[in-house]
Homo-oligomer: A and B are copies of this chain.
Amino acid sequence: MLLGACLWPAVARAQPGQPARTTVPGRDFPRLQPDGRVTFRLEATGAQQVAVVPLGNDNGLGPNPVPMLRGADGRWTATVTARPGFHYYALNVDGARVNDPGSRTFFGWAQETSAVEVPDPEGAFAQPRPVPHGHVRSVWYPSRVTGQLRRALVYTPPGYDAAPRTRYPVLYLQHGSGESERAWTEQGHAHFVLDNLIADRAAVPMLVVMDNGYAVAGSSGAPSPRGNEAFGDVLLQDLIPLIDSTFRTVAARSSRALAGLSMGGGQALSIGLRHQDSFAWLGAFSGGLRGGGLPGGSPPARLRLLWLGMGHQDEAYASAKSAHEALTAAGIDHVWFESPGGHEWRVWRRHLYELAQRLFRSTRG
């Protein structure tokens, strides 16, 4: 590599605002303005059309692409109104949908994707505080189900290494469609959420295991969004035995939870309800409910907790709410948590924050 001094564009130090947390360290854009808007900038001397493209419905950067304007120096700029939260986006350069070189990348939308984090006054629980921090381990393991080497990420709480006789309950926590095992820490700050809750004695110290929700038996190559039909088998036959033999867990259904967001919420309910001998605590964030209620199969008779969360602006809100009401009418004990926000990480961080406080308590949540 060349000397670092050569590597970044000249910057104007007197600009207002500050780079976002999701901006590449050392870069000035994307930039949070004092008025809460976000400024994007791209150098593209020969381009004809450049735009910021918010990804997904109810994106916090708005519903539509925002044209960037070309300056005399060939740099394109747009300043966009944004609500608090973590928002995926792309840049469109003459028809090519690409990442913003100024953004860190997050695995979402089935590829590395730019995102901007707009500070959330109500989201401090997911930001690092000066409390003891747990570790997040990358754990590689051969899957007998898929025949491939896979990676799981495992959060161990503060003090895990210093307490060699202590055993911990385990939350298995799954990402959404197009994401990967990285999502819950990189997008979701799950480790900071848990650090903060544990420091406040608001959650039981626990392991959190985050695997890739995609798995195809006998597939070649790494897990990819091309299929997830073998994930339940990977979880039950490969991953749980690995975790229980590698970490100091309480290897019992009463100390094992399964939760996920969107696609991962569907996996949590469909796998968890069929395997209540393995899981006593289930959570589904912004997904997993059908119009009529729970996915087909076993009633949640043996669960200690069935936790269901949904954002008010989520497209699936009305359908999920009616499922919740049907569960209530049927006398099926559960927690229903609704709050402002769409199908987005601000909501899922909040869901984890709420769920984690209820897990592994001696009484029902």
Contact = CB atoms under 8 A, between A and B. Distances in A.
B141 A133 contact: yes
Interface string A88-120: 000101111111011111001111100000000
A4 B142 contact: no
Contacts of A112: 24, 99, 101, 103-105, 112
A262 interface: yes
B136 A138 contact: yes
Interface in A32-53: 42-50
Interface residues of A, number: 74
User: Which of A99, A139, A214: most chain B Cβ within 10 A?
Assistant: A99
A160 B343 CA distance: 40
A135 interface: yes
Interface in A1-56: 1-4, 7-8, 19, 24-27, 42-50, 56
A62 interface: no
Nearest to A2: B177
B226 A8 contact: yes
A96 B95 contact: no
What is the interface of chain A mostly: helix, strand, loop, or mixed? loop
Contact of A7 (B8, B110, B222): B110
Contact of A111 (B27, B109, B343): B27
A136 B133 contact: no
Contact of A95 (B43, B135, B179): B43
A164 interface: yes
A212 to B, nearest CB: 9
A111 B7 CA distance: 9
A4 B225 contact: yes
Given A91-B98, A164-B164, 4 more contacts: A7-B110, A24-B110, A50-B96, A112-B112
